[in-house]
Amino acid sequence: MFTTAVFTAAACGLLASTANAHMVITSPVPYGADSLNNSPLDADGSDFPCKQRSGVYDITKMNNIAVGVPQQLAFQGGATHGGGSCQLSVTMDKQPTKSSKWKVIHSILGGCPNGASGNANGSPTYDSNPTFEWTMPKGMPNGEYTLAWTWFNKIGNREMYMNCAPITVTGGADNDDVLNTLPDMFEANIGNGCTTVESEDLVFPDPGKYVETAGSALGTSLSGTCQTAGSGGGSGASPSGYASGSGSGSTPASSPAAAPTGYHGGGAASSPAAGSSPAAAPTGGYGSGSGSGSGRGGSYSSPAAAPSVTGSPGADSGPGNGSSGGIVTVTTMATVTGSGPAPSAYSGGSPPSGSNRGSSGSGSSSNGTSGSSADSVACTTQDEIICMGENFFGVCDHGFARKQACSTGTRCSNGSIQKRSGSMRHLQHLKRRGGHHAGVL
């Protein structure tokens, strides 16, 4: 009874505040700032892209963006709808149309634009939302672009928000090679046959290479005909994976119980010392897979506590086999026969009890003592799936397989995840690979 009453009150408060306050970006400075309102795109997509209106492409301020230099994404407005997931995308069209091609340069999974439960504030001028850091990838062509911020809210009506801003990119390339490798922007809830699902922090079908995770309710559920990984459309499918990981620097003793109210990139960095075992990582921290240097971290705050993970961009000093303290990217490829949810991806939590990981600025890694616990078993073959009964499995990672529950309707048998009906879903590879998820190529 109490739960129902609280939920009803929260829902009423959400509906009341959404009537007069949504969200707009303030950095980068958007096109037509004087005429831009804070509502989502029309449900029929008639004002896509960029909230078409009189003066939609008036330039209030040109935003000069040098490749490889951290930039700030900032918002105004209190109707944050429990957060959700956002993308930053670009097109080289200065006045985009429905036929413009948008390419993703940064994805935020959950906690965007604010991870507060419900709405952060009822005011349309609320300016205490967290800021997010992003970087224009190296190798992007020089010139003028349109940048788009898109947001799929977690709670409330199924909506797509989109603000656009003029940018000029410098320090880049004289060709489109890097631009053409980027995934297409995700589109939904605008009459295109694809709809997101409420109460999930959407994991985009193809979030791209530069990803940060700031939410705690990650999900891949979509309804209708939606984008698939590596395409701008097609029949809906689960993504090939998403990024998360353990944080570098100082790590709290436990993960926050709820989605953090904010994410702030930057801060001083230090990798975990050799011989020490990091504590459980908060959702959305940064560790390092293959690659070099220590990864970029961030700090989080939640309503009840303020655990933090700090870090700064790591130097790229050459290939390596994975240092702790950078980014952990999980790639899951599935071969699906039949229907039903895909197996859940490994989320890059803390190493199993009894193992110690050192770190190396050059990207090498070392293992400490071996051992097993109730939550892990020793193993020998990297990336091998280890069945721990029918209902649990682990993926061998540097000598240990961490125990994880199989998804509903699946079981572990003979080193693979299978549908209980018998059709296979093979996790062909689940790797750690390096990169700087909000950094540079």
Give pLDDT tens digits for 202-242: 999 999 999 999 888 999 999 999 998 865 433 333 333 33
Question: In this predicted structure, what is the pLDDT of residue 380?
Answer: 82
The string of pLDDT tens digits covering residues 74-91 is: 999 988 889 999 999 999
Calculate mean pLDDT across residues 134-143. Answer: 98
Rounded-to-10 torsion of CA 424, 429, 435, 436: 30
- At 44, list the tokens: 């029929």
Calculate mean pLDDT across residues 393-397. Answer: 76
Quickly state the pLDDT bin for 378 (edges 50, 70, 90).
confident
CB 239 within 8 A of CB 336: no
The three-state secondary structure class of 235 is coil
Question: In this predicted structure, what is the pLDDT of residue 231?
Answer: 55
Question: In this predicted structure, what is the pLDDT of residue 405?
Answer: 80
- Percent residues over pLDDT 70 in the chain: 56
CB 291 within 8 A of CB 326: yes
Q: d(Cα 252, Cα 390) in Å, to the nearest integer? A: 33
Calculate mean pLDDT across residues 355-369. Answer: 37
Look at residue 47 and tell me whether its pLDDT is greater than 50. Answer: yes
Question: In this predicted structure, what is the pLDDT of residue 292?
Answer: 35
Look at residue 182 and tell me whether its pLDDT is greater than 60. Answer: yes
The β-bridge relationship of strands 63-66 and 161-170 is parallel
Question: In this predicted structure, what is the pLDDT of residue 238?
Answer: 34
- C-alpha distances in angstroms, 435 versus 47, 223, 416? 36, 31, 28
User: Higher confidence at residue 392 or residue 344?
Assistant: 392
Distance between alpha carbon 130 and the CA centroid of its chain, in Å? 16
User: Higher confidence at residue 176 or residue 397?
Assistant: 176
Q: Which residues of 396-425 are buried (b: 16+ CB within 10 A; e: fewer)?
A: bbbbbbbbbebbeebbbbeebbbbeeeeeb
Q: Mean pLDDT: which of 113-127, 194-208, 245-259, 264-278 is highest?
A: 194-208
| E-strand stretches of 54-114 | 63-66, 70-76, 84-91, 103-109
Quickly state the pLDDT bin for 398 (edges 50, 70, 90).
low
Instruction: Enter the DSSP assignment of 221.
Output: -
Calculate mean pLDDT across residues 190-206. Answer: 96
- Percent residues over pLDDT 90 in the chain: 41
User: Higher confidence at residue 290 or residue 142?
Assistant: 142
User: Higher confidence at residue 317 or residue 121?
Assistant: 121
Calculate mean pLDDT across residues 163-186. Answer: 98
Look at residue 373 and tell me whether its pLDDT is greater than 60. Answer: no
Domain 2-239: CATH class, spelled out: mainly beta
User: Higher confidence at residue 201 or residue 347?
Assistant: 201
Q: d(Cα 201, Cα 80) in Å, to the nearest integer? A: 13
3-state SS track over 183-208: CECCCCCCCCCEEECCCCEECCCCCC
286: closest CA among 274, 306, 300? 300
- At 311, list the tokens: 């870090």
The string of pLDDT tens digits covering residues 259-309 is: 333 333 333 333 333 333 333 333 333 333 333 333 333 333 333 333 333
The string of pLDDT tens digits covering residues 327-343 is: 333 333 333 333 333 33
Question: In this predicted structure, what is the pLDDT of residue 404?
Answer: 80
CB 406 within 8 A of CB 392: yes
User: Higher confidence at residue 404 or residue 248?
Assistant: 404
Question: In this predicted structure, what is the pLDDT of residue 420?
Answer: 66
Q: d(Cα 152, Cα 21) in Å, to the nearest integer? A: 16
Look at residue 247 and tell me whether its pLDDT is greater than 70. Answer: no
Amino acid at site 209: K
348: left (phi over 0), alpha (psi -120 to 50) or beta: left
Each domain of the chain, given as residue ranges in start order, spans: 2-239
Who's near 7: CB < 8 A, 6+ residues apart? none
pTM for the whole structure = 0.53
